[in-house]
Amino acid sequence: MSSKIFPSEIQVRGWEAAAATVTAEEAATTTTAWTVWKKSSMGFVGSDGFSVFDGEGRLAFRVDNYSRRSKLLLGELLLMDAVGRPLFALKPQILSIYDEWKVYGGGEERSFEGKPKSHLFTVRRNSILRHGGEDAVEVFMRHRRGAGCGGKAADYRIEGRFRKRSCEIRGRDGEVVARISRKKASQPSVMIGDDVFSLLVDPVVDPALMVAFVVVMDRVC
């Protein structure tokens, strides 16, 4: 793999101060092809997470240093931009039989003043059982009046086989707004594992939102 996808330890330590990073605002307008690496950008032993790179190989989004423990012990995950600014807090709902996650703006579910943070959307399976090995996940945005999980139409649907890195993310009208697919190496002799895959995003949707969906899909699938 090239150093842009698998950076060296020197590059990792220098990310926060590097000029070659991309802000969330830039990401929303400049790049539609992303490379997802299922590994924390931090160099800690035993760390886990996600690093997402733009088409130029620059770090754009990350989830750092969370444990692969049971979600009963996990707590929330924090999706950040390249320099560590929190974008979404993803929190599993422990008692949900549908593997439901609630996603909040910024950091933790509550601010330092104890006030609830904004609940932006909910992600959940559309069924307790998987059918034919297929994954089906629904997303309900909170900004839409009457939105919720109680019989309302989902704003996004994610369908396919996530473990096989073959999924489509569709909007309310059924249009494909993003695709998850296997990463193809530039040289046939190079093998790429399932921990590196591609995320293709329509320019009209927020890539940070699609990355948040990917992180949740990794947990529920």
Q: Which long-range contacts (CB under 8 A, 24 or more apart) does 147-156 make?
A: 148/122, 149/100, 149/122, 149/124, 154/126, 155/121, 156/213
Cα–Cα distance measured from residue 109 to residue 117, given in angstroms and rounded to the nearest whole number: 5
192 pLDDT higher than 90: no
| Residues 99-152 pLDDT 10s | 899 999 986 555 545 555 689 999 998 876 666 678 899 999 987 654 455 557
E strand or H helix at 181, and its extent? strand 176-182
Task: Please report, in angstroms and rounded to a whole number, the separation of the first and last CA atoms in the chain.
Answer: 26
Q: What are phi and psi of 74, to 5 degrees?
A: -75, -50
- Total-model pTM: 0.78
Q: Which CATH topology does 9-220 take?
A: Porin (2.40.160)
Residue spans of the domains in the chain: they are: 9-220
Alpha helices, H only, 19-124: 24-30, 71-74
Question: 110: which strand partners?
Answer: 116
Measured CA distances, 16 to 42, 133, 170 (Å):
11, 40, 33
pLDDT tens string 58-87: 999 999 855 555 555 566 889 999 999 999
For residue range 162-191, what is the model confidence (pLDDT) as tens digits?
999 999 999 999 999 999 999 887 776 666
